[in-house]
Structure formats: C-alpha cells, structure tokens
Amino acid sequence: MKHKLLMSLLVGVLLLATGGTAAAAPAEVGNRDGVSGDVKSISGAAFTLTTPERGDVQVQTTDRTRYRAKGNPDFSLDDLKVGDRVAVQGRWQDGKLQANLVGLIPDELRDKVMGQVQAVTGSTIAITKPDGSSLEVATTDETKYHAQGVADPALADIKPGDVIIATGKLAGDTLTASHVGFQTPRAKIGPLAAGKIVAINGGTLTLEQPFGQSLTVTTDTNTFVVQRGEDGLVVITVAALKVGDGVAVLGVRSSYGKSIVAKAIMAGDGEGPGKVLNNRQPAAKQPALPFGPRN
C-alpha cells in the first residue's frame, strides 16, 4: 500500500507539475501544490529544494509529515541528505510549502522531459523539446504508459505530433523512460497566441513557439500595441518592437493555425515570453496531462 502511495505521489508530481510559473507567494496561502527538486540544504525540520521551474523552494515539515522511499519503509527526515531528489505535496503558508508528504525519487523516476513526438522508431521516441532541441526517449518492456481516454495505452498508440511527458533516467541525449504520458494537442485555432519574436519584416513578425514551431503575425495601422515595463503598460508602435521581445497576441488566426492577423499585442521587456502577462509563459505552458499511475 505504501509503495502504491509513493508511486502515486511521484508520478503525479513529476507528470502533472505545472511548468513556467514562479514559486508560490504568501498570497497563495492554503493552496495545495506539488513540487519536485534536489535537496539543497537542510536546517532542522525545514529544507530547501532547487527546482528547474521555480528555483529554490522552502519546505517546512511537521510531526504530521509522512515520508516514503522505495525499499525503505522506515524512511524519515533523518535519512534525507543534500543531493537527494524528492517530490513534495503540501500547502503554502508564509511563503513555505508545508509538507504533508515527502517522497524520495528513485533513479527510474529521477528525470523528466517534455516534448513533441517527431518519430517513433522501434522502441525509441524522437522528440523536440519546447526550446527546439532534440532528445530521444528510449522505452523498455517495463515502461508504463498513461493517456486519458485510452484503454490500456501502449507505445503503439503514440504518433508524431503527440505531446509526451516522460520520466526516467537521463544520460546525455537519451532518457530511458519508466513512465510515458501522452496526448494529442488541440489544433491552435483560437484568437490567442504567444511567443518570442525571432524576426521582423516590416509589419510582419515571426514568433518562436514551443517545439521549434513558428507563427507569422501580421499587423496593420489599427493594431494596438502595449509594452509591459517596470512602470506598467505603455502604448507603443509596431516599429518599436524588437527581436527577442516576448509577446502575447490577440487576433484572427488562419484556418491552418500557422499565422494570425493581430488586433492587439502585449510585449514584454526584451527577455522572451516569460516577461509577458505577469511573468507567466503562455507559449511554453505544459499541457494538462491528466494521468495517474496504472496498477
């Protein structure tokens, strides 16, 4: 039972954790959350995690905190050491994650990658990550698959264009997966888009989006443009936009989804899409993958 609880915690946090958001603030008091990362330091009943998405996260334990580790039913805070990778579930209070459950992540769940499938060759899935780089996900007879609405999901159900999140052990450019969650993304047909400007040709912008995809943004004299800076929003012109700016676009998208006629644009401060919309990253947001471990 404890092993199932541990696996549920680890796979849930690793596959479902939201990316591209800042660490929780005190205003989020009481919100339930899950994070995973490497133990940076330990001080009494508290420890600090270094996470890829949120930076350093402060974790506070109590006498009610439960601990889980594969093969060690007596695992406790005393066994935790700097460098361990753990998953934590709890609630935010005073800027710290008050831990209800702490699970030690085993090697087969240590690393996580996300990407869009380019090809499936034999037991290997070739993916493009959100930053446009490539990686191979190697599967084995022990790999477990997760997909909403798919009975007994398997490698054969994964196809090019699907988005996957895989957990396992990373070595170089290959991750050997213990769990693979996948879904077919919805076509981009809505009026909203976001990304980083990589080229400007007159009133036409080219945006870089996740998985190496690009979007053409067409503007005209009626396009309303604002820029977010330290002093709030300032109205600017299309000509004031720069390569490297992160932008959020509202407009009319083409039927095939590769271009959009902009009615309004909100720009960041030249450091990519993460500076748009209160430091959130709409272009790189992970899809909601409602998987859970299967027995």
CATH of domain 2-105: 2.40.50.140
Say how far apart CA 244 and CA 195 lie, in whole Å: 10
Residue for token digits 């402060």? 58
Residue 30: predicted pLDDT:
55
Quickly count: other Cβ atoms within 10 Å of residue 1's Cβ.
5
Token pair, residue 292, equals: 């859970």
CA distances from 277 to 25, 53, 207, 280 (A): 17, 17, 16, 6
**What are the residue ranges spanned by the domains of the chain?**
2-105, 109-183, 192-274
What is the model's pLDDT at position 134? 94
Phi-psi region of 78 (alpha: psi -120 to 50; beta: other; left: phi over 0): alpha
User: Closest Cα to residue 193, out of 264, 126, 129, 244?
Assistant: 264
pLDDT of residue 281: 36
CATH of domain 192-274: 2.40.50
Q: Which fold has domain 109-183?
A: OB fold (Dihydrolipoamide Acetyltransferase, E2P) (2.40.50)
Q: Do domains 2-105 and 192-274 have the same CATH topology?
A: yes
pLDDT tens string, the chain, 295 residues long: the values are 555 554 555 555 554 443 433 344 444 545 788 898 999 999 999 999 999 878 999 999 999 999 999 889 999 999 999 999 999 999 999 889 999 999 998 878 888 899 999 999 999 999 999 888 999 999 999 999 999 888 999 999 999 999 999 999 999 999 999 999 999 887 667 799 999 999 999 999 999 988 878 899 999 999 999 998 777 789 999 999 999 999 999 999 987 778 999 999 999 865 444 444 443 333 333 344 434 333 3
Determine contact, residues 34/87, Cβ cutoff 8 Å.
yes
**pLDDT value at position 99?**
94
Is this model's pTM higher than 0.75 or not? no
